[in-house]
Chains A and B, each alone.
Chain A
Amino acid sequence: MRASFFAASEEALFLLDTRGRLRYVTPAFAQLFGHPAEAYRGLSCRSRRKPTLEDSWEDHLAALLQAPAEVLQGQPLTLRRLLRRPAPATVYDIAFLPLRRSPGMQVIGRIRAVEIKPDRGRPLPEGLVSLRQQHVSRWSLELLGDPAGRLAVQARLAAELSCPVLVVGPPGSGKATVARVIHYHSARRERPLAVLRASALSKARLRELLEGSPGSARPAALLLRRLDQAPADCLDQLVDWLEPYWSGLPLESSRVRLYASLSDPTRLPATLAPLRSFEITVPALNERLGEWQEVQQRLLERLKLLPGPPLQAISPAAQELLQSYRWPGNLRELYQLLLEAREGCRSGVLDRQDLPAWLRVTERPSASPSTLDLQATLQQVERRLIVLALHRARGNRSRAAEILGLTRGRLLRRIEQLGIREGEAER
């Protein structure tokens, strides 16, 4: 009876048995996926593994038809899922209807292809256009310091070109800002720049972004942050994608422009050398002391967007103290410090005593960019990390030693040698 019901149905239906295997499919189902009905029978749809692009179409179909846990517990459910193989990728709506049968649960499913019409070219409402303009105008060349300086000149030149750009510089120095400034001054400025953490990429997602896929947006430019943290298969994908740059042949103008950033350029694999067609180095904050006022003003403006006590200015004494520190974490570290110091500042003007104790008591060598006292810098960094660990461990030295990966004895010796006082870690 069940077989005749399935044979007569005009809908694309399927039946999963209690072990999650395909028992029946209707002719409409067979037609939808392009194989005779017999080809699907017995296909196990209870895999725990997500198929990759290298897997067969059967694996992808099995994942598509797999009943979710809620359905196996007796709850009907409708889902929208993507089938990547066979290409092109297609979106389906699947309704799962559980049929209680002891032991286990059979499931009837109805599947329909969904036509995704990407809204390519659909204009944005006026309010959103204005929001974008306002936001994009923030990425001015002024952010890069002296307009005649090396960084600004290189950025202007990169904006004129369309080759890949590699932005290198210490952590927190503003590499993504440089890439954004270049993009929003280039010919592609009216089209989007996607800024992604390389560690968050999957091979399939990277392919979608670079080559496009139905129902998936493709940016005009892509910045991969911390490229050295990209999964190995994504780097392989990039190697393939960069291959035409080795040949020097002209490339389509619609090709996504690639930006990549990383702190240590020596970690860039040789196979990604085309990324070095245009390399920009962003200086550390302590090499930009000439721009200190502008940098500080921009960070204060940014802080005003957050709820909480407003911070209007920084007193000269506090500025002197801030400028004398080396800022190994660069702009990111300075902003984080202002964010935290703001909480304790009631007057709206950040003064010396509003700054954390470790910054006030540490004796620092001159912050002149020409001074490169490695020993003093390392001691300063070590001291800071110990104070932070003690703060995090709420003064518990054993716990702080654990956080730092030291023995308790070694930590106690370093605390003494560096003159870290009781209570210094309270702020």
Chain B
Amino acid sequence: MKRATLIVWEGDDRLASLLRPWAVQQRWLLRQPRSEEELLSQGASAHLGAVVLRFGRDLEREFALLARLSTALPDLAIVVVLPEPDETLAGLAWDLGACEVLPLFRCRETLVPLIARLFPTSEAAHVPPA
């Protein structure tokens, strides 16, 4: 049976470790792809999903990935985490399809409630048409 999937794309385990207890509690799959292709494949097979993309290593490549992901899978909820508050980059992330943009320092307090609000429990339990 397919389960709602939370995909975290980052260089370390920082955001995944914040989200893991919530994902376990909600019975969501938590995936941490290691390559862009893997990320796209996991996004395509998630019947209901959210992706957290942490930026800061190679912005051009990361924003190109965001654009590709949001174009190919427009129903994924994509949250972009920037290293610092940056209005210009946040605006770009919105234009390229992010549904929310957060600076890293706000993740500890806001990321889990945000993901929870993105998919109310009833929706996560619902199987959308194939």
Contact = CB atoms under 8 A, between A and B. Distances in A.
Interface string B38-69: 00110010000000000000011001100110
Contacts of B41: 306-308
Give the interface size class of chain B: 35 or more
A120 B63 contact: no
A218 B130 contact: no
Interface string A92-120: 00000000000000000000000010111
B94 A195 contact: yes
Given A79-B108, A197-B99, A132 B92 contact: yes
Contacts of A191: 91
A232 B73 CA distance: 29
Given A215-B85, A337-B130, A127 B60 contact: yes
A329 B100 CA distance: 25
A49 interface: no
Contacts of B96: 131-132, 135
A305 interface: yes
Interface of chain B, main secondary structure: helix
A361 interface: no
A295 to B, nearest CB: 14
Contacts of B44: 306, 308, 339
Contact of A306 (B72, B77, B99, B101): B72
B71 A302 contact: yes
Contacts of A197: 77, 99, 118
Interface stretch (A16-24, A32-40, A199-207): A199-207
B72 A91 contact: no
A47 interface: no
Interface residues of A, number: 65
B42 to A, nearest CB: 10
A385 B128 CA distance: 9
A124 B72 CA distance: 24
A192 B127 contact: no
B87 interface: yes
B99 A219 contact: no
B95 A200 contact: no
Given A199-B117, A219-B91, A307-B40, A332 B85 contact: no
Contacts of A218: 87
Nearest to A121: B88
A132 B95 contact: yes
B101 A131 contact: no
Contacts of A272: none
Interface string A327-340: 01100110011011
The 3 closest A-B pairs by CB, nearest first: A192-B91, A217-B90, A80-B105
16 contacts: A80-B106, A82-B106, A118-B87, A131-B67, A136-B95, A192-B91, A193-B95, A196-B99, A199-B118, A200-B118, A201-B117, A215-B85, A217-B86, A336-B128, A388-B130, A394-B1
Interface of B: 1-2, 37, 40-41, 44, 59-60, 63-64, 67-68, 71-75, 77, 85-92, 94-97, 99-101, 103, 105-106, 108-109, 113-114, 117-118, 120, 127-130
Interface of A: 50, 79-82, 91, 116, 118-125, 127-128, 131-132, 134-136, 138, 176, 191-197, 199-202, 215-219, 229, 302-303, 305-308, 328-329, 332-333, 336-337, 339-340, 356, 384-385, 388-389, 391-394, 403
Given A194-B94, A303-B72, 13 more contacts: A79-B108, A80-B105, A118-B87, A119-B86, A122-B87, A125-B60, A132-B96, A135-B97, A192-B91, A196-B99, A215-B103, A306-B40, A393-B1
